[in-house]
């Protein structure tokens, strides 16, 4: 069985402030969200003017389709979101209506965990049922958190930022960050190790940069304060670095492909305001998906997967 389409699987995000509550209700899956938290998140989106995540994902979809066509792969590319339009169920309905039966699944997450990998696959399986598309089979791309193209793309963007700021690698501390998750969740995945994948992403990038000073932190935790999440929190890590005498910090959003609320508010506004209040130089490296090497990375992986029958026969 040969692949006949590509399915991009994303988180989704509200583009307007008035959509934030409906979006959070979908994310929470029926769990009650305190009014204080709802108002807080609405404020975040108001400050950044809505999330550009969906726009970037759609742009990537168009570019990927073009790149595949240039390689002789006439595979239509579809986008399905977990928590916002276009919802996964609607996308699977469209896919089934076109008569597709074998797709290559591309999860738009870097490091893998239950929330950033397994749940996406579960969502696809559930959407297949609700859309009457049980006959559509998927082979998902292998992990790429340590892929040379990803590491080089991230490194290149950091170098360009340093050039713009007239700052050297040697005088800069690089702070790599990914979304925090509950400690229990990080331990529960049998097929992946979120922390170890993050460690490897950071290590390889720092090594490629030749960075003498770097560390890692987690950001954007939510939920009950009684539940332990992965640490250190980025704000605590910035304070620690300043106490140790670091004066120039570049934050690298190593777990984010596109700009979203966690990047634009949590890093640019919240962490940025803290750094400025502490009197240090603070810059945030761009997210990687706009780099040409990322398009090459995904096109290569899709092409290799499309050339293999075995991956579909095993599923």
- What's the rounded Cα separation, in Å, for the pair 64 and 306? 14
30 and 66 co-located in one domain: yes
The per-residue pLDDT for 274 is 98
- What's the rounded Cα separation, in Å, for the pair 238 and 41? 23
Chain centroid offset of residue 261 CA: 12
14 and 124 co-located in one domain: yes
Q: Which domain holds residue 81?
A: 5-143+291-313
The per-residue pLDDT for 192 is 86
153 and 215 co-located in one domain: yes
CA atoms within 13 A on the CB side of 111: 25
* Phi, psi torsion values for 177, nearest 5 degrees: -140, 145
| Number of structural domains in the chain | 2
Q: Is residue 181's pLDDT more than 90? A: yes
236 and 296 co-located in one domain: no
210 and 256 co-located in one domain: yes
The per-residue pLDDT for 309 is 56
- What's the rounded Cα separation, in Å, for the pair 201 and 131? 37
164 and 219 co-located in one domain: yes
Residue-wise pLDDT for 182-198, tens only, equals 999 998 877 789 999 99
Sheet of 173-179: strand order equals 214-219, 173-179, 248-253, 281-284
Residue-wise pLDDT for 8-25, tens only, equals 999 999 999 999 999 999
113 and 206 co-located in one domain: no
- Residues 196-217 have a mean pLDDT of 98
158 and 282 co-located in one domain: yes
Residue-wise pLDDT for 85-102, tens only, equals 999 999 999 999 999 999
First to last CA, the chain: 11
Nearest C-alpha neighbor of 145 from the set 193, 80, 207, 214: 193
300 and 246 co-located in one domain: no
139 and 252 co-located in one domain: no
Placement of tokens 């082979």 in the chain: 139
Six-digit token string for 204: 């390889």
196 and 249 co-located in one domain: yes
The per-residue pLDDT for 314 is 39
- Residues 113-131 have a mean pLDDT of 92
Q: Is residue 31's pLDDT more than 90? A: no
Looking at residue 252, which CATH number applies to its domain? Answer: 3.40.50.1400
Chain centroid offset of residue 24 CA: 18
For β-strands 173-179 and 5-10, DSSP reports them as unpaired
Contacts with 72 (C-beta within 8 Å, 6 or more apart), sequence order = none
On whether the CB atoms of residues 180 and 220 are closer than 8 A, the answer is yes
Question: How is the chain split among helix, strand and coil, in percent rounded to 5?
Answer: 50, 15, 35
297 and 182 co-located in one domain: no
Nearest C-alpha neighbor of 57 from the set 106, 94, 95, 96: 106
For β-strands 77-81 and 281-284, DSSP reports them as unpaired
Q: What is the pTM of this model?
A: 0.94
């Amino acid at each position: 069985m040969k692949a006949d389409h590509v399915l991009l699987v994303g988180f989704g995000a509200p583009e307007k402030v008035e959509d934030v509550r409906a979006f959070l209700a979908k994310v929470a899956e029926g769990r009650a969200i305190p009014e204080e938290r709802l108002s807080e998140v609405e404020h975040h989106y108001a400050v950044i003017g809505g999330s550009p995540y969906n726009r970037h994902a759609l742009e990537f979809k168009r570019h990927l389709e073009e790149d595949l066509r240039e390689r002789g792969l006439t595979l239509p590319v579809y986008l399905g979101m977990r928590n916002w339009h276009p919802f996964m169920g609607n996308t699977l309905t469209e896919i089934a209506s076109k008569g597709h039966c074998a797709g290559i699944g591309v999860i738009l997450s870097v490091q893998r965990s239950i929330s950033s990998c397994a749940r996406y696959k579960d969502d696809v399986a559930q959407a297949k049922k609700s859309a009457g598309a049980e006959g559509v089979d998927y082979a998902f791309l292998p992990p790429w958190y340590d892929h040379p193209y990803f590491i080089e793309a991230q490194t290149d963007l950091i170098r360009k930022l340093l050039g713009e700021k007239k700052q050297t690698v040697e005088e800069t501390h690089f702070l790599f960050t990914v979304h925090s998750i509950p400690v229990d969740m990080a331990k529960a995945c049998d097929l992946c190790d979120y922390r170890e994948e993050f460690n490897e992403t950071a290590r390889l990038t720092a090594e490629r940069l030749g960075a003498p000073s770097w560390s890692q932190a987690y950001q954007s935790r939510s939920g009950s304060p009684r539940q332990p999440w992965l640490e250190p929190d980025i704000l605590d890590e910035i304070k620690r670095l300043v106490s140790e005498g670091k004066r120039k910090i570049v934050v690298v959003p190593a777990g984010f492909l596109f700009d979203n609320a966690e990047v634009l508010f949590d890093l640019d506004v919240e962490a940025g305001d803290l750094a400025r209040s502490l009197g240090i130089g603070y810059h945030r490296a761009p997210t990687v998906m706009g780099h040409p090497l990322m398009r090459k990375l995904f096109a290569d992986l899709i092409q290799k997967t499309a050339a293999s029958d075995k991956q579909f026969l095993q599923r």
